[in-house]
Amino acid sequence: MYSAESEFQKIEVFQSHEFGRFLMLDGDIIFSEADEFVYNEMVAHVPMSVHPNVKRVLIIGGGDGGVARELTAYPEIERIEVVEPDEQMVEVCREFFPDAVKGFDDERVHITHQDGLRFLRGRRAEYDLIINDSTDPFGHTEGLFTKEFYGSCYKALKDDGIMVYQHGSPFFDEDENAFRAMHRKVYTSFPISRVYQAHIPTCPSGYWMFGFASKKYHPITDFKPEEWKKRNIKTWYYTSNLHVGAFMLPKYVEDILKKKKIKEKKIMSRLLIIGCDGVAQVAIHKCCQNSEVFTEICIASKTKSKCDAIKARLEDKTKTVITTAEIDAMDVAKTVELY
């Protein structure tokens, strides 16, 4: 339905039978019409049902408008600031995902197109709630998953402030170290740090985690379910019972979070990826995210110009060495030679 390169990323919108329209950024599915409510409800209602007096909210990222939409259900919020660097993505979402973006029409919502980390620097005790809704610890949003970023969030929060952020999926081995490292960065920055979960079909493995970091309020002991129920906010996923259950993690996730020593990564010195569309493009992106494992990749297809375009877009954002080649996948001899 749509495909273009913004200043920051490749933006694509597709139509599917099962999930309706869905948004992809640099080859990764970000959300779909069918399941976006799960993510947006869990990052908004979990902290709002714990903090007793939220007046000012900062959303880092959030260019699709879904999180802002959920927060507009709370009349006590006076101001919602959305800091999304990619203006083109916001406009694409306005055109193709109007139900999500309608939250931007609320007069309390103010959008700034700026880098999130740069926006935060120098801010002190301004916000009751910060939600890191950036898409990926890679490329132009990489700075939003660093210890400096979480330290800046701590300073920008009031004395009883809460931060909620994406924690990724712990299911796949290649994501385990990043998952644990992210928890450690937040754990050393905030006195209260917990992880909670949701099942989102279009997320990797369908199992997604969020982080809850707070200066004062605990997500369970300070949770007041009866008060939240009185609000009569319509939800499709979040409930007060689910709130408690979301923090009850599987044992393997608890074990990952408890581990102190990060396992040594196996090095795959060279990987050949044949093709540059669809699944191949996702594989290329994942390899570049894990440059400590995939030190070099060769992208090969019949149309070398497509491979070169992907290389040009990614090579400044990764330590993985990227080469390209023209190849017919049926040419076994040539494939073996490249490999």
Catalytic residues: 133
Task: Report d(CA 144, CA 117) in Å as an integer.
Answer: 6
With b meaning 16 or more CB within 10 Å and e meaning fewer, what string describes 268-279? Answer: eeebbbbbbeee
Which of 118, 122, 195 lies closest to 163, judged by CA?
195
* Backbone angles phi and psi of 107, in degrees to 5: -65, -15
The sheet with strand 296-301 has its strands ordered as: 271-274, 296-301, 321-326
Residue carrying the six token digits 């409510």? 37
Contacts of 248 (CB under 8 A, 6+ apart): none
Count of CB atoms situated within 10 Å of the CB of 181: 13
Tokens of 295: 């030190």
The dihedral built from the CA positions of residue 248, 36, 40 and 71, taken in this order, carries a sign that is: negative
First to last CA, the chain: 35
Task: Report d(CA 166, CA 339) in Å as an integer.
Answer: 36
